[in-house]
Amino acid sequence: MHLNHDPLLNTKRAAHYLGLSASLLEKWRTRGEGPRFIKLGRAIRYRLSDLEAFLAEGVHRTLSRGPKLPKKIDETPDDEG
């Protein structure tokens, strides 16, 4: 039998670890967003490794999303200036 010693944090502690509010984590859970969590009966717990993975997913090199593309084909810029 393999025992996982990954610490489990409640919502308040998980939010503190992430630097977020507990209410935001609760909202994310209802929307299927945010870090993965475990439900044990009525208790919600977050694995430390899942919080670290969530933080790693948020790491970006730039906020740029590349060139802005027209929303519709008929919105292409005119050559006339």
Residue 11: closest CA among 31, 27, 2, 3: 27
Q: 33 near 41, Cβ under 8 Å?
A: no
pTM score: 0.70
* Share above pLDDT 90 across residues of the chain, in percent, rounded to a whole number: 64
Tell me what pLDDT residue 66 has: 61
Contacts of residue 43, Cβ cutoff 8 Å, sequence gap at least 6: 10
Q: Are 8 and 46 in contact (CB under 8 A)?
A: yes
From 1.20.120, 1.10.10, 3.50.30, 2.40.30, which CATH number describes the 1-58 domain? 1.10.10
- Residue ranges of the chain with per-residue pLDDT less than 70: 1-4, 65-81
Give the start-to-end residue ranges of the domains of the chain: 1-58
